[in-house]
Chain A
């Protein structure tokens, strides 16, 4: 492999769109990155396995060979360091963790090394590393396999943290993350791998750190991270039936955090609710609310609210999962509160319709995995 070969600058050459799942879009993104840049590597436990990390890595080994698409021994900490070493010597490694919880073994390498070197070595050593981390949810995965750790990573200067929702963003953001010269923690919510949406074909990059408005509204801003964007859109539809027009913003990235986009929206709506997949305390929602409150205090006509996980480890039992994960109903109820709407008969009726009658544990009643 000639790694001195120049990278083809292939930015934004996307052609026609077609419908894909999130997993298919990620698979395409990986294939395009591997194809366009011979320095790109893809490595992780199960990458060449027939199941191909929920389908996201399927077929890549066959196309790009065992030297560039490879499995790993269970050694997350050392492997992260190895990827960092490779990254400062001209390669672009993409690591994959089937659960974000496994990345915790590599915190030293990520925080003490990858995040620091650009700064610590006076700009001489940049670390173009992407760490794909998949977040499990429900299905009894329990305390050690379903955590949402974005705020942990986002706390560290030097780490970018991205959380795509829709398949087109999954693809564009992954391409951008691989092209980025700094370490990017790329957090994929397991339930979004099956989400369908139109995705432009061909290589394109979606800039990191830019939020995207998914619904317009004048009464309240619902800023959401990761999977909670879908719940926020569900809440917005119910709120519309109650005469409240909610604006929904898919934040797409945690660090950098697109506070200006939220401030612009709040300037119109005067109200803010933030929905996150992580825990309440010291979390991403708290950070966004703090910044909007500091920078846009005059625009706010009500105290902001947040919807996030309770401060308890992830559940195993089905029933307890039902209490644990907030849904569109929680978002809508909090939004009504922020808007100062009394919850009467009509409101209760709409909220009840939002409560899933399927277990809170699976993305939809027909879903049979993989998880």
Chain B
């Protein structure tokens, strides 16, 4: 991979972590209300997939979608403003954390009812296919979502009509507190797609390069008119399901093992930094990824540690500015709300 592309990916993965950790702090201070589902631990999936996509591709996501929006290029300040419920947010403050939207960047929304996204993405795929464009739609979802009827119904139709949809399962092994073996009869999620003859692969979702490679290949197939593709990215979330969830149902050792051994941010840094890693560094990023890591380091770009520091500093400034922008922005009013839904009760006196 080109060193520039690698650096951009690293930047996004660092931004993802910094943005989400800051959102958690703002939540703790009461500046963000409600549901806040954070992405730390899963960054390699969103970043790896979306860096392999084209700007003309569409993205459909869930309530855990801040990072998908950021990587699509939605500015951190308008994402943060939406989390704060401000008028300057990307959904005008009407959606909040779970409902980001940016038509211009083809970020077609975050949805809070699990399973809603499959048909929506399939419909976008239909629209693309009808216009015979070389575009694709990427549909993100969790491991818990695949048990909804909409998953099966949509996969069947996407395959039947050869629609340009890339289904991406962010398998973090939990549906809130329910571990995958307690919610799914078949825990290898990619196997479900085989039932619809959709080519499917499982990749290490903690390794951004592996995710990127698999996505690029899948999208090539999609664009060649071969119908939908399916990626299962195995990952792990470091925080609770949402800020309202302590995540106490997970064994501590499980969390620690992931944080210590498979942090996608640490892996991405190691994959980008040009110096050869020490034995400790290799051990610190986990044995699963050593092969990838070594490979990319040998052939990789040159990215001295001081460049990494500068990148981190720029990201910290960007996040700081996003928070300032959000807190300085006005809140939506009743008039804004009425203007936002001026369709079926126009001018009626209701009391």
- Which A residues contact B (CB, under 8 angstroms)? 45-46, 49-51, 71-78, 101-102, 104-105, 138-145, 280-281, 305-306, 310-313, 315-320, 323-324, 334, 361, 369-371
Contact = CB atoms under 8 A, between A and B. Distances in A.
B99 interface: yes
Contacts of B332: 317, 319-320
Main secondary structure of the interface of A (DSSP, over half): loop
B248 A280 contact: no
B164 interface: no
Contacts of B144: 73-74
Given A73-B178, A144-B112, 13 more contacts: A45-B178, A51-B245, A71-B182, A72-B183, A73-B147, A74-B114, A140-B33, A145-B98, A312-B337, A312-B338, A316-B34, A317-B331, A320-B333
A230 to B, nearest CB: 21
A52 to B, nearest CB: 10
Which one of B114, B248, B336 has the highest number of Cβ atoms from chain A below 10 Å of its Cβ? B114
Q: 9 shortest A-B CB distances, which residue pairs? A: A140-B34, A317-B85, A140-B33, A316-B96, A319-B331, A73-B147, A49-B177, A323-B334, A73-B183
A105 B112 CA distance: 13
Given A139-B33, A142-B98, A145-B35, A73 B175 contact: yes
9 contacts: A46-B176, A73-B147, A73-B175, A139-B34, A317-B331, A318-B33, A320-B331, A323-B333, A324-B337
Given A49-B176, A313-B341, A320 B35 contact: no
B34 A371 contact: yes
A281 B349 CA distance: 10
A281 B350 contact: yes
Contacts of B33: 138-140, 316, 318, 361
Contacts of A46: 176-178
B115 interface: yes
A139 B115 CA distance: 24
Contacts of B148: 74-76, 105
Nearest to A141: B34
Contacts, number: 138
A105 B113 contact: yes
Given A139-B33, A361-B33, A317 B350 contact: no
A312 B336 CA distance: 11
Contacts of B177: 46, 49-51
A140 B95 CA distance: 9
Main secondary structure of the interface of B (DSSP, over half): loop
A317 B86 contact: yes
A144 B99 CA distance: 9
Contacts of A142: 34-35, 95-96, 98-99, 112
Given A73-B184, A74-B175, A143 B99 contact: yes
A72 B176 CA distance: 12
Which one of A76, A316, A334, A371 has the highest number of Cβ atoms from chain B below 10 Å of its Cβ? A316
Contacts of A369: 244
A46 B334 CA distance: 35
B305 interface: no
B257 to A, nearest CB: 21
Nearest to A98: B176
Given A75-B149, A144-B98, A316 B93 contact: yes
Contacts of A281: 345, 348, 350
B29 to A, nearest CB: 13
Nearest to B248: A50
B145 A74 contact: yes
Contacts of A315: 94, 337
B351 interface: yes
Contacts of A316: 33-34, 85, 93-96, 99
B203 to A, nearest CB: 23
Contacts of A310: 334, 337, 350
Given A75-B149, A142-B96, A281-B350, A319 B85 contact: yes
B32 interface: yes
B298 to A, nearest CB: 43
A281 B95 CA distance: 23
A142 B182 CA distance: 29
Contacts of A102: 113
Contacts of A323: 333-334, 337
A74 B85 CA distance: 28
A310 B337 CA distance: 10
B111 interface: yes
Given A144-B112, A313-B341, A318 B331 contact: yes
Contacts of A72: 183
A218 B291 CA distance: 82
B269 to A, nearest CB: 34
Interface in B304-351: 331-334, 336-338, 340-341, 344-345, 348, 350-351
A283 to B, nearest CB: 10
B95 A74 contact: no
